[in-house]
Amino acid sequence: DTGVSQDPRHKITKRGQNVTFRCDPISEHNRLYWYRQTLGQGPEFLTYFQNEAQLEKSRLLSDRFSAERPKGSFSTLEIQRTEQGDSAMYLCASSLVGGLAYNEQFFGPGTRLTVL
């Protein structure tokens, strides 16, 4: 399967613990996005990378959240000192920017986080 993959698919943690999620984008894609989706809502943009550079962060991304894309390939999203309000689906998407009229974002299956 050459689509976007995310790991783990599900994570249950206790409040106060740190969690890390991984996203592997489509191999030739140079942009990678992170979104958060809560029940009954659409995805909300968190941050995105162009290659290894993090170019934009949403105000939703508090200081407890950090994302990296060290070699411009896979990315990790870490949440420190998790809170119950962090419970959500965390979606990763990737796209290839440049050359085409429209740069479609391809989404992964998401990581569902439950904070107890």
Partner 1 sequence: QKEVEQDPGPLSVPEGAIVSLNCTYSNSAFQYFMWYRQYSRKGPELLMYTYSSGNKEDGRFTAQVDKSSKYISLFIRDSQPSDSATYLCAMSARNYGQNFVFGPGTRLSVLP
Which residues of this chain interact with partner 1, rule CB under 8 A? Answer: 4, 31, 33, 40-45, 48, 55-56, 91, 93, 95, 97, 101-110, 112
Supply the minimum distance, in Å, between the C-beta of residue 34 and partner 1.
Answer: 11
Question: What is the spatial distance between Cα 44 and Cα 66, in angstroms, rounded to a whole number?
Answer: 16
Supply the minimum distance, in Å, between the C-beta of residue 37 and partner 1.
Answer: 8
Query: Which residue matches tokens 């989404």?
Result: 107
Query: Which residue matches tokens 């613990």?
Result: 17
Give 21 or 48: the residue with its C-beta nearer to partner 1. 48
